[in-house]
Amino acid sequence: FGHERGAFTGAEARRIGRFEQAHRGTIFLDEIGDLSPNTQVKLLRVLQERSLQRVGGKETIPVDVRVIAATHQDLELAMRERRFREDLFYRLSVAVISLPPLRERTDDIPELARYFLRKHGPDFGVPDPSILSEAVQFLQGQPWPGNVRELENVIRKALLLGRGFTISVDDLRAAL
């Protein structure tokens, strides 16, 4: 939300917050389900009033933003347990896209693995990285509690372990 110079110890200069930076654009709020109750109240206020005040400021600053929010939390359960504000949930859930965890969409793993190989291969001096088909099948059998981020990290580690050769099941086991 930003702050004004002198608003607190260490606030030596004015800082424009993310909502102000995103004015007339889009802001992505990751892990919205992990917000503290205090931050949920502040976020709700910004969304309802379409304005904010920087910490230590008196000026009301209009913000026109499209909000995209993501979470791994079950927000409906969090509302029942009073960990997530119901009014904030309904303010955010204009259009909901539910993406199943990676373990439930194993058909996506081969293409994701190829994408991550192409993306990270050059970083490790492997311009044209490859992976054995049995290694891809091995990936498809993993539970992936960290979802796509975990798969990406495993591919990066396997690229290091493979030392420029085709990635094998053994490379993936070691990376996991």
Mean pLDDT of 116-140: 94
pLDDT tens readout for residues 45-98:
999 999 999 999 999 999 999 999 999 899 999 999 999 999 999 999 988 888
Residue 120 has pLDDT above 90, yes or no: yes
pLDDT value, residue 94 = 87
Residue 139 has pLDDT above 90, yes or no: yes
- CA 65, CA 24: separation in Å to the nearest integer? 5
pLDDT tens readout for residues 10-58:
989 999 999 999 999 999 999 999 999 999 999 999 999 999 999 999 9
Q: What is the pTM of this model?
A: 0.70
Residue 162 has pLDDT above 90, yes or no: no
Cα pseudo-dihedral 124, 125, 126, 128, rounded to 10: 120
Q: Mapping DSSP to helix (H, G, I), strand (E, B) and coil, where does residue 12 land?
A: coil
Q: Go through 67-105 and write b for each residue having 16 or more CB atoms within 10 A of its CB, e for each that does not.
A: bebebeeebeebbeeebbbeebbeebeeeeeeeeebeee
Q: Do 111 and 146 touch, CB atoms closer than 8 A?
A: no
Q: CA 75: distance to chain centroid?
A: 16
